Amino acid sequence: MILLSILSMDLCVSCKKHYQHDHEIAKEGVVPLERVREETKETLEITTDYTDQQKEEYQRLIESKLREYDSIVSELNAKSANLRAETRVKYIDKRAEFEHKKHAAYEKLKELKVGSSKSWKDVKMQLDGSMADLALYYDREFSQFR
């Protein structure tokens, strides 16, 4: 019991010395390494959470736009039944190319979903390019069928 009391007192004295040392260092403008590590870890966690949130919002936006394209193509498919044979063949060719581009965008979206927070910016740039290509193709090639 006496040994426990002595160890306890020694621990208290040691803690007090570390506390005083940290205060002295803080007065001199030097931050203890452990505090830097903790703050860095907290900052990294906050940044990762924010990046994940951005990634999820972007995924929802892209999914919504792709569903919108699916709906529009379904409407155009229904209208295409009334087209003349030659025009209908052109529409089918353009739709096939559009579906190919849309499939590429879906593949990039899958890549984005499984990718890490670190790689999402690169995949986002590629997906932005796919979506821009898809939008341009849609506007240019389907205007006559709307």
Containing structural domain, residue 103: 52-145
Query: In 97-134, which positions are buried (b, 16+ CB within 10 angstroms) versus exposed (e)?
Result: ebeebbebbeebbeebeebeeeebeebbeebeebbeeb
Q: Over the stretch 55-89, which tens digit does the pLDDT of each residue have?
A: 899 999 999 999 999 999 999 999 888 989 999 99
Backbone angles phi, psi at 116, to 5 degrees: -80, 165
Could you give the CA distance from residue 17 to residue 11 in angstroms, rounded to a whole number? 10
CA distances from 18 to 24, 28, 120 (A): 10, 15, 43
Residue 37 maps to a domain: no
Residue 89 maps to a domain: yes
When divided into structural domains, the chain yields a total of 1
Residue 41 maps to a domain: no
Q: Over the stretch 85-107, which tens digit does the pLDDT of each residue have?
A: 999 999 999 999 999 999 999 99
**pLDDT band at residue 137 using 50, 70 and 90 as cut-offs:** very high
Residue 56 maps to a domain: yes
Residue 139 maps to a domain: yes
Which DSSP state fits 142? S
Residue 32 maps to a domain: no
- The pTM of this model reads 0.68
